[in-house]
Amino acid sequence: MNELKKRFFWGNSTSSMQTEGAWDQGGKGKSVYDIRKATPEVSDWKDGIDEYHRYPEDFDLMQELGMNFYRFQISWSRVQPKGEGAFNEEGIQFYSDLIDALLERHITPMICLYHFDMPLELSEKYNGFLSRKVSDLFVKFGIEMVRRFGDRVKYWITFNEQNLYNQWGASTFAGNLHKKEGINEVYQIAHNVMMAHVQVANYIHEQTDCKIGGMLAYTEIYPATARPRDIQVAREIQEFSNNNLLDVFAEGHYSQAVLTHIKNFHIDAGFKPGDFEILSKCRSDYMCFSYYRSTVVNSEKIPENCSVDDYLKYGGEGNPYVEKTPNYGWEIDPLGFRDILNKIYHRYQIPIFPIENGIGVQESYYNEEIQDDYRIDYMRAHIQALKDAVEKDGVDVIGYLGWGLIDLPSSAGDMRKRYGVVYVNRTNHDLKDMKRVPKKSFYWLKAVIDSNGKNL
Ligand code: BG6
């Protein structure tokens, strides 16, 4: 019977703006997050969980947990304050020391190069990834990072959740602060981001012994009924928001369905001569994705002549057959996770690496261990689903990374929504002492990792 690899990667995933803090220290330039203000509901982005100063302590905790893998992000504006021109050696030294601290603890690093925090100057001057110029600048930044760290860091991804740039709201992720977003702009952002990914990936494959893969936010989409139109609509969403990118990552071409749609609707996607030849060289050493939930699409709610880009906006609905997370109502669906592992692997036969998973819940610390049995249940079910994919379905999975296993502010900047197996003592508007306190799930996960997934 198949089983988890002996050197299966167990670990944690984070972004820089949700962890580092020190937003104006060490020569860092401003990113688009640094101008976001606190509101009654959320924190600002200045302090994170103070990882900039506390990473040795946090890496000790990761080591105690038994983790052998950590995905972190290099903040572009920390190493190149304006996003173009001079690099900031102090910022580069910070990451160099951080990598050494991981390696000393036998934790394999993975670098992510972009997690929505565009250097502010590139947003203001060029509208972020709406401009091909920024795509080219990203390639320069990415290659420089590979040159600096590729001797010690062998695992790379470029963009966190790259399919988010293919949908309405792409501007938010792409640092396009000023330009009104229409359908042409969404497609242009997506293509410019893809050109940036592919050029860094091609460099890695041609010039180094490092590995790189594409990364998506993969939400499982179920048709609301067996009505053929529901099934068609769910398939089209998968094709546009997932397969279109996976096809480039794995095989170097966009989906024919998407190219046909672009042609039929006269969309200006910003394709330039020579682009497709560059794309055609793209390959991935692994396919990465984040997975939190599934959703349902009901074609009856979708207006006639609606573009596929808007299907979920009109047709998305809740699923009465799955449980939801407390506080936030996200669908808990481990079978959806197993299904995605299967879908990607059997389409491309490339190793699969789920690098974000977890449950965000409101929790408070009152000098007693947090009894987060809901988190244990969530992780147990998802790790079991992964094992089933490996053992029963023959999927090649190389690791499992939780999201923010040491608490961090949510994507909206809300410290109330916590994913960690370690509590961080701060709230949205009071930094307190930021003390780290393991929750019950820390000890459960440690036993899982120690047994390489056997003791669930
Ligand atoms: C992923 C992002 O989409 O989901 C993270 O990569 C984010 O930045 C995580 O924090 C969880 O989402 P949220 O909104 O609950 O923080």
Check: complex ipTM more than 0.85: yes
User: Measured from the CA of 408, which atom of ligand 1 is nearest?
Assistant: 10
Domains and CATH numbers, the chain: 9-216+328-450 (3.20.20.80)
Calculate how far, in angstroms, residue 305's C-alpha sits from the geometric centre of ligand 1.
32
- How far CA 78 is from CA of 16, 25, 31, 103, in Å, comes to 10, 9, 9, 22
Calculate how far, in angstroms, residue 85's C-alpha sits from the geometric centre of ligand 1.
31
Q: Is 116 in the pocket of ligand 1 (CB under 6 A)?
A: no
Mean pLDDT of 316-340: 96
Does pTM surpass 0.95?
A: yes
Q: How confident is the model at residue 1 (pLDDT cuts 50, 70, 90)?
A: confident
Nearest CA to ligand 1 atom 2: 411
Calculate how far, in angstroms, residue 217's C-alpha sits from the geometric centre of ligand 1.
10
pLDDT computed for residue 177 by the predictor: 85
One-letter identity of residue 319: N
Supply the mean pLDDT for the chain: 97
Q: Is 328 in the pocket of ligand 1 (CB under 6 A)?
A: no
Mean pLDDT of 120-135: 97
pLDDT computed for residue 283 by the predictor: 98
Beta carbons of 283 and 250 less than 8 angstroms apart: yes
pLDDT of 303 over the 90 cut: yes
pLDDT digits (tens, 9 = 90+) for 214-265: 999 999 999 999 999 999 999 999 999 999 999 999 999 999 999 999 999 9
- DSSP string computed for 89-141: HHHHHHHHHHHHHHHHTT-EEEEEEESS--BHHHHHHH-GGGSHHHHHHHHHH
Conformational region of residue 196, where left means phi above 0, alpha means psi within -120 to 50, and beta covers everything else = alpha
pLDDT computed for residue 180 by the predictor: 80
Burial 420-456 (b: 16+ CB within 10 A, else e): bbbbbbbebeebeebebbbbebbebbbebbeeebeee
Calculate how far, in angstroms, residue 45's C-alpha sits from the geometric centre of ligand 1.
15
Burial 267-290 (b: 16+ CB within 10 A, else e): bebbbeeebeeebeebbbbbbbbb
User: Measured from the CA of 13, which atom of ligand 1 is nearest?
Assistant: 6
Dist. CA 154–CA 399, nearest whole Å: 15
Q: Can you read off the two tokens belonging to residue 391?
A: 């053992």
Other beta carbons less than 10 A from residue 386's beta carbon: 25
pLDDT computed for residue 178 by the predictor: 78
Q: Can you read off the two tokens belonging to residue 83?
A: 């996003």
Task: Ligand 1 pocket test: pick from 36, 75, 403, 407 the residue with the most ligand atoms within 8 Å of its Cβ.
Answer: 403
Lowest mean pLDDT among 7-11, 259-263, 332-336, 364-368: 364-368
Q: Can you read off the two tokens belonging to residue 85?
A: 């021109």
Calculate how far, in angstroms, residue 409's C-alpha sits from the geometric centre of ligand 1.
9
pLDDT digits (tens, 9 = 90+) for 97-118: 999 999 999 999 999 999 999 9
pLDDT digits (tens, 9 = 90+) for 345-375: 999 999 999 999 999 999 999 899 999 999 9
Tokens 């997932």 found at: 242
Provide φ and ψ at 229, rounded to 5°: -65, -35
Dist. CA 293–CA 381, nearest whole Å: 13
Q: Is 161 in the pocket of ligand 1 (CB under 6 A)?
A: yes
Q: Is 114 in the pocket of ligand 1 (CB under 6 A)?
A: no
Q: How confident is the model at residue 96 (pLDDT cuts 50, 70, 90)?
A: very high
pLDDT of 191 over the 80 cut: yes
Q: Is 183 in the pocket of ligand 1 (CB under 6 A)?
A: no
Beta carbons of 83 and 114 less than 8 angstroms apart: no
Mean pLDDT of 173-188: 91
Which residues are within 8 A (CB) of 244 and not within 5 positions of it... i.e. 6 or more apart? 166, 254, 255, 257, 258
What is the chain's alpha carbon radius of gyration, rounded to the nearest angstrom?
21
Calculate how far, in angstroms, residue 63's C-alpha sits from the geometric centre of ligand 1.
24
Instruction: Clarify whether 323 is annotated catalytic.
Output: no
Nearest CA to ligand 1 atom 5: 411
Q: Is 31 in the pocket of ligand 1 (CB under 6 A)?
A: no
Calculate how far, in angstroms, residue 18's C-alpha sits from the geometric centre of ligand 1.
10
3-state secondary structure of 48: coil
Q: Is 15 in the pocket of ligand 1 (CB under 6 A)?
A: yes
pLDDT digits (tens, 9 = 90+) for 12-38: 999 999 999 999 999 999 999 999 999
Catalytic residue among 51, 331, 356, 363: 356
Catalytic residue among 161, 185, 220, 363: 161
Instruction: Clarify whether 51 is annotated catalytic.
Output: no
Q: Which strands sit side by side in the sheet containing 211-213, from one edge to the other?
A: 211-213, 155-159, 108-114, 69-73, 9-13, 399-403
